[in-house]
Structure 1
Amino acid sequence: MSAYGPSFPIIFNHKSEPSSPSQKPFIPNPTCTSLSDPINADDAETRPHPTVREVCALLDLRRAWNPTQEGRLRHLLRRLTPHQVCAVIRAQSDERVSVDFFRWADRQWRYRHSPDAYHALLEVLSRTKMCQTSKRVLRLMARRGVDRRPEAFAHAMVSCGRARRVEEAMEVFALMLKAGVELDLLVCNTAVKVLVAAKLFDRAVRFVERMRWAGIEPDVVSFNCLIKGYCDVGRVEEALGLIKEMPFRGCAPDKISYYTVMGFLCKEKRVEEVEVLLEKMERDSNLVPDQVSYNTVIHMLSKHGHGDEAIGFVREAEERGFRIDKVGYSAVVSAFCKNGRMDEAKEVLDKMFVRGCDPDVVTYTAIVDGFCRVGDVDSAREVVERMYENGCKPNTVTHTALLNGLCRIGRSVEALDMLKSSEDEWWTPSAISYSVVMHGLRREGWLSGACELVSRMIDNGFLPTPVEINQLIQELCRGGKAREAKEFMEECLRKGCAINVVNFTTVIHGFCQAGDLESALSLLDDMYLNNKRPDVITYTVVIDALGKNGRLEELTKLTEKMLQKGVNPTPLTYRIVIHWHCHSGTVKELFKLLKKMLSRRALRSVYHQAIEKLCGLGKLDEAYSLLDRVLRSGAELDANTCDVFVGSYLNRGDSLLAYKVVWRMLKRNLNPDVHLCQRVWECLMSEGKSEEAKILMVQFVGRGLLLPQHV
C-alpha cells in the first residue's frame, strides 16, 4: 500500500486555485483559437484502449480505494505507453484528479514520466485557474531537464489569465525568454489574448508592436485579438479601421475579424450596421458570406433579442441556397419568445415544419418558456402535449420552465404536485427545478411546504445555496418563527449544506426581533461550536438588542469580546453603542469603551456623535465634559458639533454657557454659526450681561465677522 493511504494525496495546494469542470472559460474569444485540441490524434487511438479505460475506472473509484485497487493501478501504470498516460491525464473530468494521478505516478518506483506527460498536464491545467500548479510543473520540468516547448509556457500563461493574474502570466513569458526558449507566434498571441481579456488593451497594442521588433510578424489571430479589445472598450470605429489597415500590414482580415465587430454591433443594438458590414466584408475583403457566416449572424442577432432582423437573414440565406438548420431556427424562436412575441415564434415554428426541419426539444422548450413568461401556462401545457405527439420528449429544462411559469402566476401548489409526479412522468428534476418551486412557495407564504421541499431536495442529492436557505430563514423570522428558522438551519447543516455566517446572523436577528435575547446569545455561542466566526454584523445585531433591553453591562462585555476576537467595529457599531449608553446615562462607561474601540479602528466623528446624542437627550453637563476632545483639530465637523451645543444651551435658557462654548470655539479658530451667535448676543443683552455681549461683538469684528444686524 502506498505511503499516501488509500486515495490520492493532495500534492499541490488547490485551496487557492478553484477548479471545476463546469467552469466557464476565462477567454471566450472567437478570434483566438485554442492552443491545441483537448484530445489529439494520438489520444483518439489510445483513449479507447482497454488499459486506459480500466485506469480511468479505478480513478473514478479513488475515494473508496483499498490496497488491492491501488496495487492494481500500480500494475496497470507499468503497462501504459507514454501516449496512453497522456490519454489518462486528459480524460479526467476533474482537472485536480489529473494532477493527483500525475504526481502519484511520478512517485512510483522505477517510473519516470515522458516529456509528453508534462505537456499534457499543462494543457489540462490551461482549462483551469490553477496557475500556481502550472508554474510548479514548469519548475519541475526545469529541475529534471525536461525540454520545455513554447506551448508549455503558453498553457501556463492561459491558466494565469483565467485566474486574473495577468502579471504572473507576463512573468511566465519573461521566464521563457530567460530560459532561452525560442519565441514563437503562439506564445505571443497568447500574451496578447491574456492582456486583452484583462482589459489591458493599451499594453496589448504595445506588445503587438514589439513583436515586430523581435522579428515575429503578427498574424490574423494577433489582429483579431486587438479587434476584440477595441470592441470591448467601445472603440468600434478603430476596430473597423484596423480591419481596413490589416492588408497593408501584410495580413488580410478573415471572417472572424468581421464577426467580432458584428457581435459588438448586435450587443449595442446597432443592428442596421450589421448588414452594411456583411456587404463590406464581401466587397472589400472578398470574403463571400457562406453557411457559417449566416449562422453566426443569425445567432448573434437572436442572442441580443433582434428576432425580426434575424429572420430577415434567415430568408436571405435561404434565397442564396443555404439551408438554416434547427439550431438557427431555435435561436430565432428563442429571441421572439424572450420578448413575449409568441405569434411570431409560432410562425417560425410552422415554417420549420414546412421546410422539413423538425423542431427539437430546445425549440419547444423556448416556446414553453415564452408562454410562461407572458403568463399563458395553459398554452405552454399544450405545447408540451404537442411535443409528445411529434415524438419529442420534454426534458428537465422544459419541465422546469413550466414549473417556473406556474410559480410566477401564483400556482406554486400545482407546481409542487407536478414536481412530486416527476417520477411517474419519467423525468428527473434538477436543482433548479427544486429551487424554482421552493421560491414560489416562499413567495406565496407557504413556508412549511417550502422547508419540506428543501428537505426532499437535499435527500435527492441537491444542496440549496446559502442564499436560498437565507431567504427562507428571513421569511420565517418575519413571521415570528425564529425557532422554526433555527431548526430548519440546523437540519440543513446536519445534512451537509453550506451554512454561512449570514444564515446564523439572520436567525439571531430573528430572535432579537422576537424579544428572545437568550436564544440569540445561545446561538451566538453555537456559531463557534460549528466553526463559524461571527462577523461585525452579527455582533452589532446582538449589541443593539442588549441595548434595547437595558442590559448595558452585557453590551459592554460583548463589545469587548468582539474586539478580543479581532473583529473591528463599524460606524454603525459606534452609533449603536453611543446611542444606548447615552440613553442610559452611563457616560463614563461609554468613554472607557470608546477608548478601547478607537484603539482597534479610529473614527473621527465618535465624540461628535456622543455630544450630539447627549445634547439631544438634554444631558448637557455630560456632553460638556467631552468638549475638549472635539476642539483639538479645529475642523468644520468640530464647529458643527459646537453649534449643536450652543443651540442646546440656548434652548435651555443658559446663555452664559452658550457664550462660553462660542468663546472656546473662537480660541480654537473655529467660526460659529452667525445666526446662533446673534441669538447668544440677544440673550446676553436681554439678561443684562452686556460685558459678555460686548466681548462677543469685539471678537466678531476683529475676525471680520459681523453680526447680521450690523452688516
Structure 2
Amino acid sequence: MDQTSKLTKALFKNTKNPRLAWHLFKRILSSYSPSSSPCYLRSMPIIVRILIGAQMHREIDELPQLVLVSQHLDVALTSLTSFVQSLASLGHLDKAVLHFKSLRTRFPAMPPSVSLYNVLLQSSLKGNRPDFVKWLYTDMIAAGVKPETYTFNLLIQSFCDSGRLDDARDLFDKMSEKGCQPNEFSIGILVRGFCKAGFTVQGLELLNQTRNGHPSPNRVVYNTLVSSFCKEDRIDEAEKLVERMRDQGLFPDVVTFNSRISALCRVGKILEASRIFRDMQMDEELGLPRPNVITYNIMLKGFCKEGMLEEARALLDKMKKVGNFMTLESYNTWLWGLVRNGELSEARLVLNEMLSKGIEPNIYSYNIIMDGLCRKHMLSDAKALIDLMRSTGIFPDTVTYSILLHGFCSKGKTIEAKNILQKMIRNDCSPNSYTCNILLHSLWKEERTSEAEEMLQKMSKKGYQFDTVTCNIVVNGLCRSGELDKALEIVNEMWTNGPASLDKGNSIVSLVNHMQNVSNRFPDVITYTTIINGLCKVGRLEEAKKKFIEMTAKGLHPDSVVYDSFIQTFCKQGKISSAYRVLKDMERNGCSKTIQTYNSLILGLGSRNQIFEIYGLMDEMRERGICPDVCTYNNIISHLCDGGKIKDATSLLHEMLDKGITPNISSFKILIKAFCKSSDFGFAYELFEVALSVCGQKEPLYSLMFNELLAGGQVSEAMEMFEASLDRSFGLKNFMYKDLIDQLCRDDRFNDANFLVQKLIDRKFEFNHSSVMPVIDGLNERGDKQQANELATKMMKLALEDGYGNKTCYSERSNIDGRLKKAGGSDWQDILQRDDGSGIALKTLKHVQKGWGQGCISSLQPQKNYFDDYYDGNG
C-alpha cells in the first residue's frame, strides 16, 4: 500500500477529528502520484464533509487554492469538480456556485461535464433557487455542453415549481429539436406540474398527445392523474382513467385504489368506498391489489368522519387481528374519530391502550386529546394533560399550547390565556402567528382595545410574524367598536406597506404600519368584507361602494358575503329595487344567493307586505336546494302576523317542525303575541305549552305569557303564571309584577296581592319596594291593620338592610339621601313625592331617614308601637 492510500485510510478513520483530518488531507495532496489517483479522488468528498460538519469555513475556502498549487492541471480540474459537487450535494449551494464560477474563470477552455451541471441544477431545485437554474443553463449552452434528457427534466421541473407551466410545456416540446427525446419521467414531471397547479385537464391532454412518438406513460403518471381528479371530486373522470390503464396493460396498483377510496370518503360516498375496499380484500380473481395499512387508515378515517363508529370499530377489530396494521398512525386516526364524535372517555381509554401495548403516543396523539378536552370546555383536564405529556417524555409544542389557549379564549378567560402564552414562551416554545392571532382576536372580541394594542407592540418587538389575518383581526375589532375611520386607515396602509407618517393620533394604525416581520399583509377579500359590512351597518353606503370599487380594481373578486352586506342594508332601508339591482350584479359575477340573501329580501318584502312575492322566494329557495332556516321562517311568520294572517303563520310553525327545523323562542313569541292581541288566549296558552316542550322552561317565555295575559285583562291567569315563574326562581326584571299587584288592589283582591308580596319577601327575590305601597294602603283602608303593620315592618327592615349593605339585598336598590343606589323604576324615594294621602308610607319613610346611619339595624327595630299609634288614628 502506497503512502497516499495509507493516508486516505487514516483520513477515513479520523472523520470525528476534523483538525487531524485536515492535516492528513494536506499530506495526501503533497504525497499524490498518478498511481494513487483513485484514493486521492475519494478523499475529496470525505474532507469536504468533515470540514462542513465542523464549520471550518476558512479551511473550505483555502482548499481550492491548495489543490491548484499542488496538482497538475487536469488532476486539479477533476479534484475541484469533485469539490463543487460535494458542496452542492451537502446543501451548501451558494458556496458551490461561487467556486463553480471561479472554476469556469480559471479553466475557460475546459468546460465542465454535463454531470456537474446536472448536480448543480438538481441542488438549485432543492434549494428553490430558480435564479441559479437560469444562470447554469445559460452558462451550459455558452460552454458548448450538450444537455441530456435528465438535464431537460430538471429544467422542466424548475419551470413547474415556479408556476411557469407554459415554459415547461414549450421546453418539453423542443427537447427533440435539441437532440434529446422525452422519457417517461419527462411526461410524469410535466403532468405532475399541471395537476399540482390545478390544471388536471391539461395534464390529461398531454397524456393524450404523447401517444405517438413518445414513450408510453407509466403507472405513476396515471396514478398522478387519477389522484388529481379524485382530489377535485371528479370521480367519473378518475374511473375512466382506471379503465384506460387496464386497457393498456397497466393494472391499477394499491396507490390507484387508495386515491379512489380517499376521494369517495372525502365527498361522503362512504358506501361506494367501502364496496371497493371489500373487493380489494376478496376478489383475488380480478387481480385487484390487496389493501395496505394506508387503505385501512383511509377507510377508518372515512367511517369516523361520517359518524359510523360501529363500522369503524368492526374495521378496527379486523386491523388488530391482522396485527401489523395497528400502527401509531392507525391509533391516531381512531383517536381523531372518537374525539370528533364526542367519545372523549373512550379516546382516553385508547390512549391508555396504546401505552400498554408499547405504542408510544406522539405529540399529535396528545394534541388530538387536548383538542377534544378544550372543545368540551374541560380546561382543568386539558392543563393536566400537559403534565401527563411531560411525564412520558413528550413536550408540548406550539400546536398544543395554541389549542389550550384557544380553549380559554373561547370561554372568555383571557387572563388565563395570557398566562398560558407566557408559560409557553418560558418553556422555549415559540408562538406562531396563529397562536398570537387567537389571543388578539379574543381581546378585540371583549373590546379590550388597550390590551390588544399592547399585545401587538410586544409581539412586534419580539419579532413575531404577522400576516393578513392579524391585520384583519385588528380591522374587525375596530369595526366592532365603532372606530371605522381607524379601520379604514389600516386598510389603506396595508396596501402602501411603507412607513408613512400618520399624524392623526391613530396609534394602532401607526403600530400596524411599522410592524416588523410582516409577511403577506396585503388586504384580501375578508379585509374588504369586514370594512364594507362595518360601513353598511352604520349607513355609510357611499363609502362602502367606494371600497367595493377599490376591491375589484385591486383584482379581488367579491364573494356572496360582500354583496349580502349591501342587500341587507338596502332591504332594512326599504330600498328593495336597489337591493335587487345588487342581486342582479351579484349573479352576473358568478356569486350564488345564500340563505342570508333570501332572508334579507324576505325582510325587505315583508316591510312592504308583499307576501305573495315572499312565497315566491321560498319556492325559489327549494328549487335551488337552499333550506330555509329559523330566521327565514321567523321573518315570514312575523310579517303574516302583522298582516293579520295568524292561521297562515301557525301553519308555517307546523311546517318548521315537520321539516326538522327547531323553532326558537322568537318563533313562539311572535305567535303568542299575535294570538293574545286577537284575544285568543286559549290558543296562545296552547302555543306556550308547545314552546316549553320545544325550548325548555325559559324565563322569556314565562315573562311574555304573563305580560300578555295581564295586558289582556286575564288577571287570575296572569297571577297563576307569575306564581309558576316564582316557583322556578326566575328573575323579575322582565315581569310586569307591579302592574299585577296594582290591578289586584284595584280589584279589591288585597289578600291575593299580599300573598304575592309575602312570597316575594319569603323567597328573597329582588323586587321594587314601591310595588308594596298599594297593598299596605289597601289593607289599612280595609281594616286589616295587623297585616298592614307586619308588611310595613318587613319592608322597612328590607330597606334598612339595603342601606347598610351588610346583608343580602333582596330588593332593588333604593336611593334615599344618596345612600341607596337606584336600579330602575319607582322606589321608596319616589314615594316621598306622592300626593295620594298615603300617610303611612310618608311617615314610615321619614322615620327611616331620621334613623339613617345610627349604627345598627336593631336600634331602629322597636317601632311597632309607632305603627300601632298610626293605625289607632293618632297619626
The corresponding residue for 2:387 is: 385
Secondary structure, counterpart of 2:412 in structure 1: coil
Aligned residue type for 1:151: Y
The corresponding residue for 1:650 is: none
| CA positional deviation for 1:445 | 1.6
CA distance, structure 1, for counterparts of residue 43 and residue 328 of structure 2: 32
The corresponding residue for 2:407 is: 405
The 3 A distance-change label for structure 1 pair 411 and 393 is same
The corresponding residue for 2:148 is: 149
The corresponding residue for 2:50 is: 50
Aligned residue type for 2:369: I
Please say if residues 84 and 96 of structure 2, whose CA atoms lie closer than 8 Å, have aligned partners that are also in contact.
no
Please say if residues 160 and 169 of structure 1, whose CA atoms lie closer than 8 Å, have aligned partners that are also in contact.
yes
Q: Does 1:358 align with 2:378?
A: no
CA distance, structure 1, for counterparts of residue 307 and residue 106 of structure 2: 60
The corresponding residue for 1:266 is: 265
The corresponding residue for 1:631 is: none
Please say if residues 157 and 172 of structure 1, whose CA atoms lie closer than 8 Å, have aligned partners that are also in contact.
yes
Q: Does 1:434 align with 2:436?
A: yes
Please say if residues 51 and 76 of structure 1, whose CA atoms lie closer than 8 Å, have aligned partners that are also in contact.
no
**5+ unaligned residues in a row in structure 1: which ranges?**
1-41, 59-67, 514-535, 544-561, 569-711
| CA positional deviation for 1:198 | 4.2
Please say if residues 301 and 309 of structure 1, whose CA atoms lie closer than 8 Å, have aligned partners that are also in contact.
yes
CA distance, structure 1, for counterparts of residue 67 and residue 447 of structure 2: 58
Correspondence list, 1:89-108, <5 A: 89-92=88-91, 97=94, 101=98, 105=102
| CA positional deviation for 1:44 | 14
CA distance, structure 2, for counterparts of residue 105 and residue 142 of structure 1: 18
The corresponding residue for 2:338 is: 336
The 3 A distance-change label for structure 1 pair 211 and 280 is farther
The corresponding residue for 2:277 is: 278
Aligned residue type for 1:432: Y
Please say if residues 254 and 287 of structure 1, whose CA atoms lie closer than 8 Å, have aligned partners that are also in contact.
yes
The corresponding residue for 1:196 is: 195
Aligned residue type for 1:137: L
The 3 A distance-change label for structure 1 pair 189 and 426 is closer
Please say if residues 473 and 489 of structure 1, whose CA atoms lie closer than 8 Å, have aligned partners that are also in contact.
no
The corresponding residue for 2:508 is: 488
CA distance, structure 2, for counterparts of residue 164 and residue 233 of structure 1: 19
| CA positional deviation for 1:165 | 2.8
| CA positional deviation for 1:110 | 4.3
The corresponding residue for 1:468 is: 470
Q: Does 1:85 align with 2:84?
A: yes
Secondary structure, counterpart of 1:49 in structure 2: helix
Please say if residues 211 and 217 of structure 1, whose CA atoms lie closer than 8 Å, have aligned partners that are also in contact.
yes
| CA positional deviation for 1:129 | 7.0
CA distance, structure 1, for counterparts of residue 384 and residue 333 of structure 2: 21
| CA positional deviation for 1:310 | 4.9
User: Number of matched residues?
Assistant: 471
Please say if residues 166 and 194 of structure 1, whose CA atoms lie closer than 8 Å, have aligned partners that are also in contact.
yes
The TM-score, its normalising length taken from structure 2, stands at: 0.47
CA distance, structure 1, for counterparts of residue 266 and residue 421 of structure 2: 37
Aligned residue type for 1:382: A
| CA positional deviation for 1:271 | 1.7
| CA positional deviation for 1:163 | 3.3
The structure whose Rg is larger is: 2
The 3 A distance-change label for structure 1 pair 77 and 305 is farther
Q: Percentage identity across aligned positions? A: 20
The corresponding residue for 2:647 is: none
| CA positional deviation for 1:72 | 5.2
The 3 A distance-change label for structure 1 pair 254 and 479 is closer
CA distance, structure 2, for counterparts of residue 153 and residue 475 of structure 1: 52
Q: Does 1:119 align with 2:118?
A: yes
**5+ unaligned residues in a row in structure 2: which ranges?**
1-41, 69-75, 487-502, 536-541, 556-875
Please say if residues 84 and 100 of structure 2, whose CA atoms lie closer than 8 Å, have aligned partners that are also in contact.
no
| CA positional deviation for 1:441 | 1.6
Secondary structure, counterpart of 1:274 in structure 2: helix
Secondary structure, counterpart of 2:291 in structure 1: coil
The 3 A distance-change label for structure 1 pair 356 and 152 is same
Deviations 1:587-628 (A, max 9, x none): xxxxxxxxxxxxxxxxxxxxxxxxxxxxxxxxxxxxxxxxxx
The TM-score, its normalising length taken from structure 1, stands at: 0.56
Please say if residues 335 and 369 of structure 2, whose CA atoms lie closer than 8 Å, have aligned partners that are also in contact.
yes
The 3 A distance-change label for structure 1 pair 501 and 339 is same
Deviations 1:635-657 (A, max 9, x none): xxxxxxxxxxxxxxxxxxxxxxx
Deviations 1:647-670 (A, max 9, x none): xxxxxxxxxxxxxxxxxxxxxxxx
Deviations 1:469-489 (A, max 9, x none): 353255357647758973234
CA distance, structure 2, for counterparts of residue 101 and residue 468 of structure 1: 40
The corresponding residue for 1:595 is: none
CA distance, structure 2, for counterparts of residue 170 and residue 47 of structure 1: 41
Deviations 1:417-465 (A, max 9, x none): 2222335455443343323222222222222222222222223221322
Structural RMSD (CA):
4.6
CA distance, structure 2, for counterparts of residue 270 and residue 160 of structure 1: 37
CA distance, structure 2, for counterparts of residue 92 and residue 435 of structure 1: 35
The 3 A distance-change label for structure 1 pair 295 and 233 is closer
The 3 A distance-change label for structure 1 pair 115 and 384 is same
The corresponding residue for 1:455 is: 457
Secondary structure, counterpart of 1:422 in structure 2: helix
Aligned residue type for 2:339: C
The corresponding residue for 1:138 is: 137
Correspondence list, 1:318-333, <5 A: 318-333=320-335
Aligned residue type for 1:346: R
Secondary structure, counterpart of 2:424 in structure 1: coil
